[in-house]
Amino acid sequence: APWCGPCKIMLPIFEEVSKTHKTVVFAKVNVDENPEVAQELGVRGIPTLVFFKDGEEASRSVGASSKAALEAKIKETF
């Protein structure tokens, strides 16, 4: 959501990490424009990163994360 401060902090990290992990699909969803997606995934706070592996939720992270934390989560999940 454009009004979300932690989301604004995460965006450049998210974009940078997405460029270095070509085999991982990165997508962002505006919960204000897509409330059904947030509800379906049980998103209660933003930013929420949901990691899917083989079509199933494998992990999730809520709140702003550092680049190192995001890299570690990707390594742990994939």
Local structure of 66: helix, strand or coil: coil
Q: Is 4 a catalytic residue?
A: yes
Catalytic residue among 2, 4, 38, 76: 4
Of residues 3, 5, 6, 7, which has the active-site annotation? Answer: 7
3-state secondary structure 8-33: HHHHHHHHHHHHHCCCCCCCCCCCCC
Q: How far apart are CA 22 and CA 2, in angstroms?
A: 26
Whether residue 76 lies in the annotated active site = no
Q: Which residues are catalytic?
A: 4, 7
